């Protein structure tokens, strides 16, 4: 694998873009990062079945750093519902480990690409239509939160995203105010990322044909460059959100997600 200045620039640009969009639109960067990392790894000559898996794992690892930055800002405003984080976290860890330690290792990269394409297409449609579930009930008890957390962690582990597209609708459905749901979802990104990354590292040991600078399924150069650049851009995106027409921007972003989903569909079908 070659690692030249142009690749560093591409990874830094990806980190800047995903960090800014995360702050601007309140979403994680996984849905942008995974397709582009898949492409960059493919250009580096990584085996097709590994490109998608490494892209998903590396994308998830960056969330460890960006979630810390995001949660600090939300916590200062008193927006994080910490009892909800405490209730959902055990299930999230369980679901994440099942995905990253077990299912992820056995699934082919082509299937993960197809699953990612379907998940992103659904999420883009929800964003384009700006659909929010009608509040219809209260937050469930301990067993319900563990079950919901398991689903959030499991889906996040398979697509390399922070879970916001699942956790935010779930919380608003449970009559949690939208700004609290977004802030709490940001806090949930940390246990989601830590548990999944641990699974990716363990399940990625002794895998043949991994590229240089790999740690399990993680591609360390991309992790370092993307995380460092995205952390600095997220606050700028959050600041811009107060000045720009976010609802219209979400529709533009949803259109971009459809293109990225189409690329991952192509990768899955052609593998």
The per-residue pLDDT for range 100-156, each reduced to its tens digit, is 988 888 888 899 999 999 988 988 888 788 766 666 678 888 899 999 999 999 999
Residues in the chain: 271
Terminal CA-to-CA distance of the chain, rounded, Å? 21
Tens-digit pLDDT profile for residues 231-263: 888 777 767 766 778 677 778 878 888 988 999
- Alpha-carbon distance 195 to 128, whole Å? 31
Task: Record the tokens describing residue 158, joined without a space.
Answer: 């398979």
Q: Which range among 46-50, 191-195, 240-244 shows the weakest confidence by mean pLDDT?
A: 240-244
Q: Which of 126, 128, 170, 135 is closest to 151 using CA atoms?
A: 170
Q: Which residues contact 86 (CB under 8 A, 6 or more apart)?
A: none
Task: Record the tokens describing residue 110, joined without a space.
Answer: 């082509």
- Alpha-carbon distance 256 to 254, whole Å? 5
Model confidence, pTM: 0.86
Higher pLDDT among residues 230 and 39, named by residue: 39
Which residue in the block uniquely carries the two structure tokens 């860890």?
93
- Alpha-carbon distance 27 to 223, whole Å? 18
- Locate the domains of the chain by residue range: 5-270
B/e letters for 20-33, b = 16+ CB within 10 Å, e = fewer, are: bbbbbbbbbbbbbb
């Amino acid at each position: 694998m070659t690692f030249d200045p142009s690749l560093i620039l591409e990874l830094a640009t990806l980190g800047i873009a995903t960090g800014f969009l995360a702050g601007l639109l309140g979403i994680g960067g996984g849905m942008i990062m995974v397709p582009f990392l898949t492409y960059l790894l493919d250009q580096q000559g990584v085996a097709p079945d590994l490109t998608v898996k490494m892209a998903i794992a590396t994308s998830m690892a960056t969330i460890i750093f960006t979630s810390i930055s995001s949660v600090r800002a939300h916590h200062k405003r008193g927006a994080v519902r910490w009892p909800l984080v405490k209730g959902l976290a055990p299930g999230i860890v369980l679901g994440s480990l099942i995905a990253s330690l077990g299912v992820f290792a056995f699934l082919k990269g082509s299937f993960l690409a197809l699953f990612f394409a379907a998940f992103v297409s659904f999420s883009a449609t929800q964003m384009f239509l700006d659909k929010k579930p009608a509040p219809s009930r209260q937050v469930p008890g301990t067993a319900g939160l563990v079950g919901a957390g398991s689903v959030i962690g499991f889906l996040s582990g398979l697509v390399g995203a922070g879970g916001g597209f699942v956790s935010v609708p779930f919380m608003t459905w449970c009559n949690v105010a939208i700004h609290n749901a977004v802030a709490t979802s940001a806090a949930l990104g940390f246990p989601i990322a830590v548990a999944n990354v641990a699974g990716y590292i363990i399940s990625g040991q002794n895998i043949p044909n991994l590229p240089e600078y790999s740690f399990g399924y993680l591609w360390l150069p991309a992790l370092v460059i993307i995380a460092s650049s995205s952390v600095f851009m997220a606050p700028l995106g959050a600041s811009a959100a107060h000045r720009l027409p976010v609802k219209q921007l979400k529709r533009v972003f949803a259109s971009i997600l459809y293109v990225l989903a189409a690329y991952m569909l192509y990768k899955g079908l052609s593998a």
